[in-house]
Structure 1
Amino acid sequence: MAIQRSERLEGICKEIHDSANRLIPVVMSLSQLECRKVRETYMRLYGEDLAQLRPIINPHNLVLTLMMLNPFERDAALARKALHLNSNYKPLIEIYTTRKSSHVLLTHQAYHAKYMSHLDLDIAGIEPPHPFQKILLALSASHKAHHAETSQHIAKCDAKRLYETGEGKARAGIDEAVVIEIFSKRSVAQLKLTFSNYSHIYGHSYTSFLKKVDCGAIGDAVRSVAKCICNPAGYYAKVVYGWFKGETSDEGAIARVVVSRGEADMGEIEKHLKKKYSVELKAVICEMIPQGNERDLLLAMATPKSLPYL
């Protein structure tokens, strides 16, 4: 079986090497893991990196580029783009709240290897300063800390602190120092438990409070964190719908969501899209993406694969 897989991989790579036009049809039949195996085999056979090869990889086809990268390289590339090209920091929020700490560490390493810079330093160096900046640095610090098992006691205490320094005040708002302290010292799992306790104790979610009170950009950042932690599928559905309706300037949102969540919770995201916004993911893709390779790839990724190709 292993020999057959190896021969199949080598056959695919030869097919791509002999005719670059075959890359897209081949990739459409593969999972992301299989795409990365093809990339590795192509490098071994021909000494060239498919993810960097031009004109095989069109620089404008973000989907294809992201599919060829391993998850850590992909997130490093998304982080770099967020910081240096479009100043949209939500991709970084997504990385820090939906990835394991081991994944985040490897993403930091991939970022440094590729760009010869430290991700934390690039976030700290955002100019002009941005409210998302402190939140991102706090989340990054959280992943570096040693975390014990989740604690109900700590969750209740943190929920109480968030309430008393937030909507429990005479003039409701956000105590930035308290939020950053909690975000920097608690794991994502612990924060999720805190937000759950907040809802249980006070009868509504922390995000509901943030939605009602104008806390400015810092409120938007904190709300994005809470939403992404508590309901990632709902968060991503909103990202896709906002991109679809032109409500955000989140360039590359559909490629980022479909590739990063395609083999995680894409089915749940599609359910949220249909239930809350009455739209189908494939219909959104067809309406917003011009006919061509990028649309074909997105549609292929939105279609579950029953059996491995390799």
Structure 2
Amino acid sequence: MALPSCQYESICKEIHDSWGQPNHLIQHFSSLNQQECRKIREIYEKIYGEDPVKLLLQSSCQKNEQRTGFSHKTSVALSMLMLNPYERDAVVARDALLEQNDTVNYKALIEIFTCRKSSHVVSIQAAYYSRFKRHLDQDIISIEPSNPYQRILVALSASHKAHQADASQHIAKCDARRLYQTGEGKSGAVDEAVVLEILSKRSIPQLRLTFSTFKHIYGHSYTYFLKNEKFGEFVDAIKVVVKCICNPPKYYAETLHGCIKGTITDKGAMMRVMVSRAEVDLTEIQGVFKKKYGVELKIAVRESLPSGDYRELVFALATKTCTATGG
């Protein structure tokens, strides 16, 4: 049930009066769903003439915490909660392409092109152009093509133009056999051209069915025979892509665990997962996390992340999901 307008206005006033008090703001934002957070942004700007997202991002860019009272990571995280999903992913994509030291955050881009519906990707591309006056597809093409992730991303970008209504079992069997015959079924390395062709011509649901069919026909996953072989960077990238397509909760649980333990350097991954999956499959991700690592996500966050407003926000988001689902 939507909140009444007067309640939104009351929350906006409380938020306005809470700048500089991280715990109060975290309590407000973490108690709302994402649609309510976006409504708060809209009403706050009407009342006070300032966009709270811009206030937070200005604070984070200037590293000026005096007004908001937040750390850089918390300011960015709270701003993400108030963006619509397409705008948020457009910002994530742009940030991924502009990583420091001329590197690209390929995994953030892979998540967008494998774990979003084609209609969502189209909206992301529109939001990207609207916000940055650039074409996302062209920016990906312009990345250094020697990187295997770039070639895979170009193929996945094309795959979202494959609009067949239903995944075809016949196509899945044919593609599974091609993958076997040009990989495990012959000596030598995986045939990159064949893999890229299939990735570029099939929708994500079709690719998911293909990898499921491969396992049904040959008795193990497509990436199983690659685990103990050194086929190079392309195959390493393909293993990540297949995991994202076939088992997003497992991929995201492993990503969150890496963030908590400090074994991955992607500083934005924790909040990217917590926000983008909050109303999609975060409950399932938490279940996989507990089964795989023997501890609830919220407990791991509380015990492992450094104390401060960022930990409190992550903990609040994880706890809210558990509470909402009875977990």
Q: Tell me if both proteins adopt one fold, taking TM over 0.5 as the criterion.
A: yes
What is the RMSD of the two structures over their aligned residues, measured on CA atoms?
Answer: 2.0
- Kept in 2, the 8 Å contact 1:258–1:266? The answer is yes
Q: Which residue of 1 aligns with 2:4?
A: 5
Q: Which residue of 1 aligns with 2:299?
A: 283
Q: Which residue of 1 aligns with 2:25?
A: 23
Runs of 5+ unmatched residues, structure 1: none
Rounded to whole Å, the distance in 2 between the matches of 1:44 and 1:300 is 28
Q: Which residue of 1 aligns with 2:62?
A: none
Rounded to whole Å, the distance in 2 between the matches of 1:17 and 1:52 is 14
Q: Aligned letter for 1:302? A: A
Rounded to whole Å, the distance in 2 between the matches of 1:19 and 1:203 is 57
- Kept in 1, the 8 Å contact 2:71–2:309? The answer is no
Q: Aligned letter for 2:40? A: V
Give the counterpart of 1:77 among 67, 80, 91: 91
Q: Aligned letter for 1:290? A: P
Match status 1:193 vs 2:192:
no
- Kept in 1, the 8 Å contact 2:261–2:304? The answer is no
Match status 1:136 vs 2:147:
no
- Kept in 1, the 8 Å contact 2:208–2:246? The answer is yes
Q: Which moved more, 1:193-202 or 1:51-60?
A: 51-60
SS of the residue corresponding to residue 129 of structure 1 reads coil
Rounded to whole Å, the distance in 2 between the matches of 1:214 and 1:243 is 26
> May I ask how many residue pairs the two structures share in their alignment?
305
- TM-score norm. by structure 1 comes to 0.91
Q: Which residue of 2 aligns with 1:302?
A: 318
Rounded to whole Å, the distance in 2 between the matches of 1:60 and 1:97 is 25
Q: Whose relative contact order is higher, 1 or 2, with alpha carbons under 8 Å and at least 6 apart?
A: 1
Q: Which residue of 2 aligns with 1:43?
A: 45
Q: 1:180 to 1:81 in 2, by over 3 A?
A: same
Percent of residue pairs bearing the same amino acid type: 55
Give the counterpart of 1:150 among 167, 172, 179: 167
Rounded to whole Å, the distance in 2 between the matches of 1:58 and 1:109 is 31
Shift of 1:300: 1.2
Match status 1:251 vs 2:267:
yes
Give the counterpart of 2:243 among 227, 233, 253: 227
Rounded to whole Å, the distance in 1 between the matches of 2:304 and 2:83 is 25
SS of the residue corresponding to residue 212 of structure 1 reads coil
- Kept in 2, the 8 Å contact 1:138–1:183? The answer is yes
- Kept in 2, the 8 Å contact 1:64–1:294? The answer is no
Q: Aligned letter for 1:60? A: K
Shift of 1:283: 2.8
Runs of 5+ unmatched residues, structure 2: 60-66
- TM-score norm. by structure 2 comes to 0.87
- After TM superposition, the structure 1 = structure 2 runs for residues 49-128 of structure 1, keeping only pairs within 5 Å, are 49-53=51-55, 54=59, 55-56=67-68, 59-61=72-74, 62-85=76-99, 87-127=104-144
Give the counterpart of 1:183 among 199, 202, 208: 199
- Kept in 2, the 8 Å contact 1:72–1:106? The answer is yes
Q: Which residue of 2 aligns with 1:169?
A: 186
Rounded to whole Å, the distance in 1 between the matches of 2:92 and 2:121 is 13
Rounded to whole Å, the distance in 1 between the matches of 2:175 and 2:281 is 29
Q: Aligned letter for 2:84? A: N
Rounded to whole Å, the distance in 2 between the matches of 1:77 and 1:208 is 34
Rounded to whole Å, the distance in 1 between the matches of 2:159 and 2:281 is 24
Q: 1:89 to 1:244 in 2, by over 3 A?
A: same
- Kept in 2, the 8 Å contact 1:59–1:65? The answer is no
Q: Which runs of 4+ in 1 moved over 6 A?
A: none
